[in-house]
Amino acid sequence: MCGRFVSTSTSLSLAKFFDLDAVEEQILESAPRYNVAPTAVIRVVLEREESRLLTTCRWGLVPSWAKDESIGVRMINARSETVATKPSFRSAFAKRRCIIPVDGFYEWVKLADSKTKQPYFIHSPTSEPLAFAGLWEEWRGGKSSDPDSADLQQDTVLRTCTIITTQANKKIAALHDRMPVILQREDWGHWLSPQETQVEALQELLVPARDEDLEFFAVSTEVNSARNQGAQLITPL
């Protein structure tokens, strides 16, 4: 699974790396985040009207048919094996795919004779961003929950996303049996294109990353609390 990640690249550097056509103005200046947790608003790459855009979604997918947004807490990951058929994800898999750019992610291993779990930081050996395969949705079924909002009586539009996971490769299996799907550069356009509807072709992309594309090291247990932030969280022990 993937339950916590790092997002430190600037929006402008992501625009260059992913060959984007536009970046939404409100995220042009984005502070580094070393401990991103579910339900956070995160940056995503998606394609709309033939333009590749950096925008934001809340992490935890809320299907369009959901009665309320609370279901998103349970939808932070989608399994590659069932993403094309599970009702919560199949519509987004067919039409609304995205890339979630990260600078690394965390996984935990339970220590022997201890209740503490040891976190590990997993990243690219080149320090370049990783392109997680994701899905996005827009949910229009609710009212604003902010009592001070002028839109209290109007439907709100909530854009959410999920990270697709697959079986871990040999290297990551030492930490966990699942890992995020990390897309290769040559597959980005194919994945993002709303015109691509061939389920079999898309599922061929949902495979474990090559062992040589990732490395990891142990980091401070400060990571265990999502309240903690700072570069010290990705300093090797």
How far is Cα 221 from Cα 236, in angstroms, rounded to an integer? 11
Q: What is the DSSP letter of 125?
A: T
pLDDT at residue 174, as a whole number:
95
Classify strands 77-79 and 155-167 as parallel, antiparallel or unpaired: parallel
Average pLDDT over all residues of the chain: 93
pLDDT at residue 1, as a whole number:
74
Which one is catalytic: 47, 57, 69, 107? 107
Residue 199 structure tokens: 């389920």
How far is Cα 89 from Cα 163, in angstroms, rounded to an integer? 11
pLDDT at residue 142, as a whole number:
57
Instruction: State the pTM of this model.
Output: 0.93
Contacts of 189 (CB under 8 A, 6+ apart): none
Is the separation of the CB atoms in 101 and 45 below 8 Å? yes
Beta bridge partners of 136: 161
pLDDT at residue 154, as a whole number:
52
Q: Which residue has the tokens 């932070």?
A: 76
Each domain of the chain, given as residue ranges in start order, spans 5-107+127-209
Which one is catalytic: 2, 57, 98, 161? 2
How far is Cα 45 from Cα 91, in angstroms, rounded to an integer? 18
Over residues 196-237, the pLDDT tens digits come to 989 999 999 999 999 999 999 999 999 999 999 999 999 999
How far is Cα 109 from Cα 237, in angstroms, rounded to an integer? 15
Q: From 219, 129, 122, select the one nearest 176 (Cα to Cα).
A: 122
Distances (CA, A) of 51 to 93, 121, 210: 19, 33, 29
pLDDT at residue 149, as a whole number:
47
CB atoms within 10 A of CB 40: 17
How far is Cα 64 from Cα 139, in angstroms, rounded to an integer? 5
Q: Which fold, 5-107+127-209?
A: hypothetical protein yedk fold (3.90.1680)
Over residues 43-56, the pLDDT tens digits come to 999 998 889 999 99
Residues of the chain with pLDDT under 70: 142-155
Burial of 42 (0-12, 13-18, 19+ CB in 10 A): buried
Q: Which residue has the tokens 């370049």?
A: 128
In which element (H, E) is residue 91 found? helix 90-95
How far is Cα 179 from Cα 17, in angstroms, rounded to an integer? 23
Is residue 107 flagged as an active site residue? yes
pLDDT at residue 111, as a whole number:
83
Is residue 196 flagged as an active site residue? no
